[in-house]
Amino acid sequence: VRKPRAQCTQISEQLLCLCLQSRVPPTNEFKVGMKLEARDPRNTTSVCIATVMGLAGVRLRLRLDGSDNTNDFWRLVDSSDIQPIGTCEKNGDMLQPPLEPANSDILKSSTGLCHKAFCWNA
């Protein structure tokens, strides 16, 4: 079944608009070490604190705080997946706490949080 020519033209124009990029790339004023809020690429409903670990043109290499370099990910500077620190608080959104590193001195148990040297039971 063939689509009418007008409908094909409309679809083609919509696809063309989606594929076009700005002729002038956005400026990258980020610096390595800066903190921001970013969507977790493994769970896009979660927003976490991330650190800028590297720069490449208009791309940022990000690391979720508490994570290691095996989970770094890239985002464009104008991505809707990143926002300034404080955006979640201002909008009343949930900000996920930093991940706990595998070598953390804090251990979780069914009775509470324990440090290797002592235990604070609930």
Contact yes or no for 74/61 (Cβ under 8 A): yes
Contact yes or no for 114/65 (Cβ under 8 A): no
Is the pTM value of this prediction over 0.85? no
Q: Which of 29, 37, 36, 35 is nearest to 55 (CA)?
A: 29
Count how many Cα atoms sit within 13 Å of the Cα of residue 5 in the half-sphere of its side chain.
Answer: 0
Which residue type is seen at 61?
R
Q: Which of 45, 92, 83 is nearest to 62 (CA)?
A: 83
Quick one: pLDDT at residue 24?
79
CATH number of 27-121: 2.30.30.140
Domain boundaries, the chain: 27-121
pLDDT digits (tens, 9 = 90+) for 16-73: 555 566 677 788 899 999 999 999 999 999 999 999 999 999 999 999 999 999 999 9
